[in-house]
Amino acid sequence: MMNLRTPRAAAMMVFAGFGAAIGCWAGAIPQVIAAAGINSLDLGIGLTLNSLAGVTAISFGGMIGRRFSNRSVMLGALPLLALILILLLVATSFWLFFASLIAFGALLGFLDMAMNAEASAIEHDLRRPIFTTFHGSVSIAIAFFAIVSSFLSAIAGTFATSMLGVAVLGLAWLMVYRSVPARPVTAGRAGGLSHLPSRLPLIIIGMAVGLSIAAETSTLFWSAKLLNDQAPELAAIAGLGAAFFGACNAIVRFRGDRLRARYGEVPLMLASLVLAAAGFAVLGLSLSFTANVVAFAAVGFGLAILCPCLFNMAASQVLANRAAGLSFAGLIAGPPRILAPWVFGWVATSQSTSFAFGLCAALMVVAFGLILTLQSVGQSRLTAIEAQATAE
């Protein structure tokens, strides 16, 4: 049984709080956009600005990592995220909705960078694979809070939903305060990327991360809309798509470290992309509520291992300042993350939400090619870095 006063337990709770905030938002989207008078195109623009804010926040990761510990960033971001979650879910005007959604993205970006850097450091400290279990906490929290949010928002209102997320974020803050150490900060050039012989692996990783996150956010933020459009009488359970996606993510991620050790990260990612592409293809073609819920589950299985593996690879490139590796990869990931919500919203408005999901299958094909490229041009470099990390 895990000791709840360890850095690992505290980091797991931060990941869970991150997932709870996203799940509360994803499940409440139909009610929030109705209250704020937002249509599909407006939502797409809002999610684009949300992604832009998140990418901008992540791009400061290297600079922040040279000045503040991961602990400090998490302690600052968690209470602010709780406040913005409330404002987002109770927004009743166009301007409050957009302002809070942008701030929500920025705070998620700062928290994402800090918690992944800390998780990578904890895995290095323990000298055994545990990284994907942190992301499993995100997935299980998204699954639980998405379905609870869709039900509670329809029955009791979105403010009640926001209080659930606030409770988890508050507990995460307390555990970080009590258990996470302030790791030494490496300032100057030693904490940057200038010593790397090549940034090409980080560039490829960043591009693959961007496509993966674009697919994930499309699934999380538009699944309820798709299911609600297909079966309005089932609005109270429209969060099932995000819930099944998150639950299947969690199943794989909690066993992901064993899978990494057994099959290797690259073969595992390639197989996962094939499954995700198949799930998105079903979403593009099916008009059945049940079939689409199953397809969201398949997408959840397929996307589960991608970001944890890619994030860990990026962080491991810069051992002196893991946030710098994550920051650079996050910056490269920016264009697909930023453009995907706007493109998805435009396609959903001009064609259909189903058609937009079908196009996500093409993103998975491109990501497949990127992982193959990474294997051919960067595997030797990654192996050398992992060997160095093990020796230390």
**pLDDT tens readout for residues 133-143:** 888 888 788 87
Q: Which of 184, 176, 148, 374 is nearest to 265 (CA)?
A: 374
Q: Do 209 and 330 meet the contact criterion of CB atoms below 8 Å apart? A: yes
Q: What is the mean pLDDT of residues 64-79?
A: 87
Confidence of residue 226 (pLDDT cuts 50, 70, 90): confident
The pLDDT score that the predictor gives to residue 13 is 95
Parse the chain into domains and list their residue ranges.
7-391
Least confident of 97-111, 178-192, 376-390: 376-390
pLDDT over 80 at 387, yes or no: no
Neighbours of 167 (CB within 10 A): 13
Task: Report the chain's terminal Cα–Cα distance, integer Å.
Answer: 27
What share of the chain in percent tops pLDDT 90? Answer: 25
Q: Which fold has domain 7-391?
A: Growth Hormone; Chain: A; (1.20.1250)
Contacts of 240 by beta carbon, 8 Å cutoff, 6+ apart: 147, 150, 227, 293, 296
The answer to whether 346 and 41 have CB atoms below 8 angstroms apart is yes
Residue 386 has, within 13 A of its CA and on its CB side, a CA count of: 15
Higher pLDDT, residue 68 or 177: 177
Q: Which position has the higher pLDDT, 214 or 326?
A: 214
Q: Supply 131's token pair.
A: 């990284």
pLDDT number for residue 237: 54
Split at pLDDT 50, 70, 90, the class of 194 is: low
pLDDT band at residue 104 using 50, 70 and 90 as cut-offs: very high
The pLDDT of residue 79 is: 96
pLDDT tens track for 249-283: 788 888 888 888 888 888 999 999 999 999 999 98
| pLDDT grade for 340, boundaries at 50, 70 and 90 | confident
Query: Could you tell me which of 280, 360, 308 has the C-alpha nearest to residue 139?
Result: 308
Kindly calculate the radius of gyration of the chain based on its CA atoms and give it in whole angstroms: 19
Helices (H), the chain: 7-36, 40-59, 61-65, 70-89, 94-126, 131-155, 158-179, 200-230, 240-254, 256-263, 265-285, 289-303, 306-316, 322-332, 334-350, 353-391
